[in-house]
A = this chain, B = another copy of it.
Amino acid sequence: MKKCTIVFKPLGKTVEAAKGTNLMEAARRAGVFLDAPCGGKGHCGKCRIKVESGQHKHEYTPLLTEEEVKQGIRLACLTWIEGDMTVEIKEVDVVNDIMVEDITSKSKKKLVQRTLNILKSSGINIEKSLKTVPLTLSKPTINDNIPDLERVQRELKSVLGCEKISLSCPIEILRKLPTILREYNNEITLVLLKKENGYEIMNIAGGRDACAYGLCVDIGTTTVAACLVKLNTGEIKASANSGNLQMQYGGDVINRIIYSTKESGLEKLRQAIVEGTVNQLLKQMKSKLRLSNDNIVFSVFAGNTTMSHLLLGVPAENIRLEPYIPVFRNAPTLKADDISLEINKNAPMFILPNVASYVGGDIVAGVLATGLWDRNETVLFMDLGTNGEIVLGNNEWMLTCACSAGPAFEGGEISCGMRASTGAIDEVKIEKNTLKPRIGVIGNTKPKGICGSGLIDLIAEMFLTGIIDMKGKINKIIKSDSIRYNQQLGCNEYVVVFGRYTEDGRDIVINEIDIDNFLRAKGAVYSGARTLLNNVGLDISNIDKVIIAGGIGQNLDIKNSITIGLLPDLPHEKFEFIGNSSLTGAYACVISDEAREKVKEIADRMTYIELSVDPAYMEEFISACFLPHTDTNLFPSLKKVMNL
């Protein structure tokens, strides 16, 4: 088999591949990241590259214009290698796109305060099983010549005031112990983890220099966020987030699961999240705080069921196949070393429990963080990230479901979509007269694309200004240079920002296919909420509070969200946006032992409704795929404004 050499510019990465290899696959092997929400099926058009030279075959796609094809632009997933090639790519540099946030920021302080309030009001103690214990040992003599480990044990018994102590000591500590004792003249500090019948030594330091940190991570399908928490104070000392490097294998859980069943697919996905994403976030945070791996002695992960399986390298394929069986709800107790996490090898990992195949630990974390499980009033909790999960309930009952919304709320499978990071348009207002938009961009840079909250604004404004109708179709009668027909795709489109103002010189455009995808996503969520209400015989008016969380973005506009029929039409004071509730719940589980017990209880109490087998759901869904809905009586406030 002839081997061809493929050079990826401007990175200079090179890979050998057999003739006939798919270019996307070659890029992955070269460690070149190409975004591929559709998993490489040619649907999403995100894996654009430019062939500089070299023989290749490519398949026709309406996602590229004739002009672009002439210039050598291709979709990598629809290109096959025929000879040596040189390819120019615009790598979506997820890894270097890490945002190390200012920990003095309001949002972090708010997160800490909110968590403490919730724990306090629910009577959950914040006692931690980890403690730092300074010890001064007596010097060994010929008359008091007990071994080093027993000497430590004896002193601990006296310091902790207990008769007997069962002390586990990992081999790494045992190997260090004699040297540290003698180097530091018998003055040491231990980091101890309380276990059911004793303590485990997690770390040892000479003198009084030990510090103990905990890691909490929200593993979103699209975005991964992590914090390092100083355990004795509960302060968040560093936080960072980035895209989930698994994106190159598919934008949503279904595409990831499909990829996981390919040869070594599961291992590649595991590596992408652990080595490629979490360890990279850790690296930044550790260097900022000047911590070594050993200092981080505990970790908590919240993610959906598929993400938790892939994190552990556990086969996820049965999640997708009827009767939809995950391998675990409560993951067994594992250690950081089991998944090559770059913290203290022996640090226990706590993974928030899953409820079912499509409602995972991230939602359970959210339920903890919202306090829903402990409230008298009835709360509708919506987590709008990739997919979209809903919980309805109070301190007596809880129903939950997963809506197959796909990655649209995080910009996936929308041609101009992107996640809520630097360069994303997150606010849009369209002037009634000119039909031109005014936009807000994260980081105040040139725009690159539109994130979830921006898409909601955009579609709501297009609807309110009459650019689109109830079905999401563009009104062709309107004369505006912002509205045009896309020959290639065979549909109309609206230009949000012309290329001269964008980061890469290409127009930022939303077309009717994008709008249709988005309407299906919002329809899935709204109909999911309605189905839960129907299941308990309640109405929208019975909802006391709507709490919204997730990657859809901080700047979510409630009014616009109601306008497009994503959120129920309720008074604005009933809505609350709480940001990343999954991370908040994970944080609570780092600082409180009881919180970890509580989330197991919460997961057990949640009743999962499988929408796909609910006979009324399909009808609800179809009705909800309009702007705002086929039943306009559900949106009285809008009816008044728009004369629907």
Which residues of A line the B interface, CB within 8 A? 140-142, 145-150, 167-171, 174-175, 177-179, 182, 196-197, 312-315, 317-318, 322-334, 338-339, 354, 356-357, 610, 613
Residues of B within 8 A of A145 (CB): 323-325, 356-357
Query: Which of A171, A322, A331 neighbours the largest number of chain B CB atoms within 10 Å of its CB?
Result: A171
Can you pick out 21 interface pairs between chain A and chain B where the beta carbons lie within 8 Å of each other?
Answer: A140-B323, A141-B323, A142-B324, A142-B613, A145-B324, A146-B325, A147-B327, A147-B328, A147-B354, A148-B318, A167-B332, A170-B332, A171-B312, A171-B314, A174-B328, A175-B312, A175-B313, A175-B314, A177-B314, A178-B318, A197-B197
Contact of A178 among B148, B169, B322, B327 (CB under 8 A): B327
Residues of B within 8 A of A167 (CB): 332
Q: Given the known A-B contacts A196-B197, A326-B147, are A169 and B313 also in contact in the complex, defined by CB atoms under 8 Å?
A: no
Query: Which of A141, A142, A146 neighbours the largest number of chain B CB atoms within 10 Å of its CB?
Result: A142
Task: Give Cα A317–Cα B148 distance, bound, in whole angstroms.
Answer: 12
Task: Give Cα A328–Cα B149 distance, bound, in whole angstroms.
Answer: 5
Task: Give Cα A312–Cα B140 distance, bound, in whole angstroms.
Answer: 23
Taking the full assembly, how many copies of this chain does it contain?
2
Q: Given the known A-B contacts A142-B613, A196-B196, are A174 and B314 also in contact in the complex, defined by CB atoms under 8 Å?
A: yes
Which residue of B has the minimal Cβ distance to A141? B323
Residues of B within 8 A of A324 (CB): 142, 145
Q: A169 to B332, Cβ gap below 8 A?
A: yes
Q: B313 to A142, Cβ gap below 8 A?
A: no
Q: A171 to B338, Cβ gap below 8 A?
A: yes
Q: A339 to B171, Cβ gap below 8 A?
A: yes
Contact of A177 among B170, B327, B354 (CB under 8 A): B327
Which residue of B has the minimal Cβ distance to A325? B140
Which residue of B has the minimal Cβ distance to A166? B196
Contact of A168 among B182, B318, B326, B333 (CB under 8 A): B333
Q: B313 to A148, Cβ gap below 8 A?
A: no
Residues of B within 8 A of A328 (CB): 147-150, 174
Residues of B within 8 A of A147 (CB): 325-329, 354
Task: Give Cα A140–Cα B357 distance, bound, in whole angstroms.
Answer: 13
Contact of A149 among B177, B332, B357 (CB under 8 A): B332
Query: What's the nearest-Cβ distance from chain B to residue A288, in Å?
Result: 30
Which residue of B has the minimal Cβ distance to A167? B332
Query: What's the nearest-Cβ distance from chain B to residue A361, in Å?
Result: 13
Residues of B within 8 A of A140 (CB): 323, 325
Residues of B within 8 A of A174 (CB): 312, 314, 327-328, 331-332
Residues of B within 8 A of A168 (CB): 332-333
Residues of B within 8 A of A318 (CB): 148, 178, 182
Query: What's the nearest-Cβ distance from chain B to residue A213, in Å?
Result: 23
Query: What's the nearest-Cβ distance from chain B to residue A341, in Å?
Result: 12
Query: What's the nearest-Cβ distance from chain B to residue A257, in Å?
Result: 12
Which residue of B has the minimal Cβ distance to A610? B142
Residues of B within 8 A of A331 (CB): 174
Query: What's the nearest-Cβ distance from chain B to residue A71, in Å?
Result: 46
Task: Give Cα A434–Cα B170 distance, bound, in whole angstroms.
Answer: 63
Given contacts A145-B323, A175-B314, 13 further A-B contacts (CB under 8 A): A142-B322, A142-B323, A145-B324, A147-B329, A148-B327, A168-B332, A169-B332, A171-B312, A174-B331, A175-B313, A177-B327, A178-B317, A196-B196
Query: What's the nearest-Cβ distance from chain B to residue A129, in Å?
Result: 15
Query: What's the nearest-Cβ distance from chain B to residue A417, in Å?
Result: 33
Q: Given the known A-B contacts A142-B613, A332-B169, A613-B142, are A179 and B148 also in contact in the complex, defined by CB atoms under 8 Å?
A: no
Q: Given the known A-B contacts A142-B613, A178-B314, are A171 and B327 also in contact in the complex, defined by CB atoms under 8 Å?
A: no
Task: Give Cα A146–Cα B333 distance, bound, in whole angstroms.
Answer: 19
Query: What's the nearest-Cβ distance from chain B to residue A123, in Å?
Result: 25
Residues of B within 8 A of A178 (CB): 314-315, 317-318, 325, 327
Q: B196 to A150, Cβ gap below 8 A?
A: no
Task: Give Cα A610–Cα B179 distance, bound, in whole angstroms.
Answer: 25
Task: Give Cα A317–Cα B177 distance, bound, in whole angstroms.
Answer: 13
Q: B150 to A315, Cβ gap below 8 A?
A: no
Task: Give Cα A145–Cα B326 distance, bound, in whole angstroms.
Answer: 9
Residues of B within 8 A of A170 (CB): 332, 334, 338
Q: Which 6 A-B pairs have the closest CB atoms?
A: A169-B332, A142-B323, A171-B338, A149-B328, A147-B326, A148-B327
Which residue of B has the minimal Cβ distance to A143? B323
Residues of B within 8 A of A177 (CB): 314, 327
Which residue of B has the minimal Cβ distance to A331? B174
